[in-house]
C-alpha cells in the first residue's frame, strides 16, 4: 500500500523532471555559453569535457540583455499586453460563466460545448480567419460601413488592438471554464441570506458571489496571462512588425540571428518572470489555508 502511494506521488514529479526541469537545465546551460558558427551554434559543448564546460560558462548573455533596451522594452510591452488582455478576457468571460452557472441544467452541456467548440479547429486557422475579418476589406469593416457607422475602412489589422482581439478570442475558454467551475459549486442560499439581511442583488453579487469565485478568477487569469506573455503567433499575424513582444524577439534570436545563447537567456528570464509570481501565490494560498484550519 505504501509503495503504491509512493509510486503515485512519484509520477507527477517524474513528469516535471523529464519534461520541465531537465529541458530547463539544458536551456540554462546554453544561456551561459557563447555563440559560435558551428553545429550546435554555441560553445562549449558536452564533448569538450566537464572541466572546459564549467570554466567557459559565464553570464555575458544576461548582462547583454540588460544593456540592450530592445529586450527590456519587449518584456514590458509583453507584460502590458498580457495584463490588459487578461483583464479584457475576465470582463468578457465572467458574465458568460455566470450565465452558464445560472442556466437550467438541461442547457449547461450545450453551453459548455459551445465554449469548447473553437478547440475543434486549428489554432492557426482561427488566427488566419481573424486576419480576414479585421483587414481593411474584411467582414468587420464591411459590416460597419453597411450599418453606416463609418464612411471608410478602419485600420485594425497590424495594430495592438488586433492583438488584443486575437488573444481574448483565443484564450476566452481558459477564463470561462475555471470561473464556471467555481460558480457551479457556489451555494445559492448564501446570496439569498445576504438579500434577507438587507443587501440588494447587486450588493449580494459583489459581497458574496465575487469573493467566493476568487479561486476561479485567479486560475483563469493565470491560464490566460501566462501563455499570452510569451505569445508569438497572434502578434506576428495580427500585430505585424509594429507590435513588440518577447515571443517574437525570442523567435528571431533563435531562427533569424541563430544566436541560441542570447535566445536561451531571454527564455530563462521569461520563465523566471512567470514562475516567481506563481510560487508566491501558492505560498500565500497555503498560509491562508493553514490559518483557516
Among residues 60, 42, 72, which one has the least CA distance to residue 258? 42
Query: Would 9 be classed as within a structural domain?
Result: no
Extract the C-alpha cell encoding 210.
465575487
Least Cα distance to 174 among 209, 137, 221, 131 occurs for 221
pLDDT exceeding 90 applies to what percent of the chain?
A: 28
**Res 174 pLDDT > 80:** yes
- pLDDT for 205: 86
Residue 238 lies in a domain: yes
Q: Does 1 score more than 60 pLDDT? A: no
pLDDT of residue 293: 58
Question: Residue 226 forms beta bridges with which residues?
Answer: none
Q: How far apart are CA 257 and CA 205, in angstroms?
A: 53
Q: Do the domain assignments include residue 247?
A: yes
Cα separation, 129 vs 32, in Å, equals: 41
Q: How many CB atoms lie within 10 A of CB 193?
A: 13
CB 232 within 8 Å of CB 250: yes
Q: Which set of grid coordinates corresponds to residue 108?
A: 449547461
**Residue at 36 is within a domain:** no
Residue 146 falls inside a structural domain: yes
The b/e string for 253-264 (b: 16+ C-beta within 10 A; e otherwise) is bbeeeebbbbbb
CA distance 261 to 34: 6
How does pLDDT run across 225-254, given as a tens digit for each residue? 999 998 989 998 998 777 889 988 888 888
Cα–Cα distance, 130 to 234 (Å, whole number): 10
**Average pLDDT over every residue of 18-27:** 85
Banded pLDDT at 2 (limits 50, 70, 90): low
Residue 287, domain member (yes or no): no
How many domains does the chain contain in total?
Answer: 1
52: exposed, middle or buried (Cβ count in 10 Å: 0-12, 13-18, 19+): middle
Is residue 1 classed as helix, strand or coil in its secondary structure? coil
Region 271-283: mean pLDDT is 79
- For residue 218, what are the domain limits? 68-258
Q: What is the DSSP string of 38-95?
A: SSSSEE--GGG-HHHHHHT--SHHHHHHHH-HHHHHHHHHHHHHHHHHHHHHHHHHHH
**pLDDT tier at 52, thresholds 50, 70, 90:** low
- CATH value at residue 147: 1.10.3720.10
CA–CA distance, 156 with 158 (Å, rounded to integer): 6
Report d(CA 151, CA 154) in Å as an integer. 9
Q: What are the Cα distances from residue 221, in Å, to 108, 179, 276, 283? A: 23, 10, 16, 18
Q: Let me know if residue 134 belongs to a domain.
A: yes
What tens digit of pLDDT does each residue of 95-150 get?
A: 999 999 988 888 888 999 999 988 888 888 999 999 999 988 888 889 989 888 88
State the cell numbers at 222. 493565470
Per-residue confidence band for 176, with pLDDT thresholds at 50, 70 and 90: very high
**Residue 21 falls within a domain, yes or no?**
no
Amino acid at each position: 500500500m505504501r509503495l503504491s502511494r509512493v509510486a503515485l506521488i512519484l509520477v507527477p514529479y517524474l513528469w516535471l523532471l523529464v519534461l520541465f526541469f531537465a529541458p530547463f537545465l539544458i536551456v540554462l546551460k546554453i544561456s551561459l555559453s557563447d555563440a559560435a558558427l558551428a553545429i550546435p551554434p554555441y560553445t562549449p559543448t558536452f564533448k569538450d569535457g566537464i572541466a572546459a564546460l564549467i570554466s567557459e560558462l559565464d553570464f555575458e548573455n544576461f548582462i547583454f540583455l540588460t544593456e540592450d533596451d530592445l529586450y527590456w522594452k519587449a518584456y514590458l510591452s509583453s507584460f502590458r499586453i498580457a495584463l490588459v488582455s487578461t483583464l479584457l478576457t475576465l470582463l468578457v468571460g465572467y458574465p458568460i460563466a455566470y450565465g452558464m452557472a445560472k442556466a437550467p441544467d438541461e442547457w449547461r452541456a450545450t453551453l459548455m460545448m459551445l465554449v469548447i467548440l473553437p478547440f475543434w479547429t486549428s489554432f492557426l486557422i482561427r488566427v488566419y480567419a481573424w486576419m480576414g475579418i479585421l483587414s481593411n476589406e474584411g467582414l468587420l469593416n464591411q459590416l460597419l460601413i453597411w450599418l453606416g457607422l463609418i464612411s471608410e475602412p478602419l485600420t485594425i489589422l497590424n495594430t495592438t488592438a488586433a492583438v488584443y482581439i486575437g488573444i481574448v478570442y483565443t484564450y476566452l475558454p481558459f477564463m470561462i471554464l475555471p470561473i464556471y467551475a467555481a460558480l457551479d459549486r457556489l451555494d445559492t442560499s448564501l446570496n439569498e441570506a445576504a438579500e434577507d439581511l438587507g443587501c440588494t442583488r447587486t450588493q449580494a453579487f459583489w459581497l458574496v458571489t465575487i469573493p467566493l469565485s476568487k479561486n476561479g478568477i485567479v486560475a483563469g487569469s493565470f491560464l490566460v496571462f501566462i501563455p499570452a506573455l510569451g505569445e508569438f503567433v497572434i502578434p506576428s499575424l495580427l500585430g505585424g512588425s509594429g507590435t513588440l513582444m518577447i515571443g517574437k524577439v525570442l523567435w528571431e534570436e533563435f531562427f533569424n540571428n541563430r544566436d541560441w545563447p542570447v535566445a536561451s537567456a531571454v527564455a530563462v528570464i521569461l520563465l523566471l518572470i512567470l514562475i516567481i509570481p506563481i510560487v508566491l501565490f501558492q505560498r500565500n494560498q497555503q498560509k491562508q489555508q493553514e490559518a483557516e484550519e
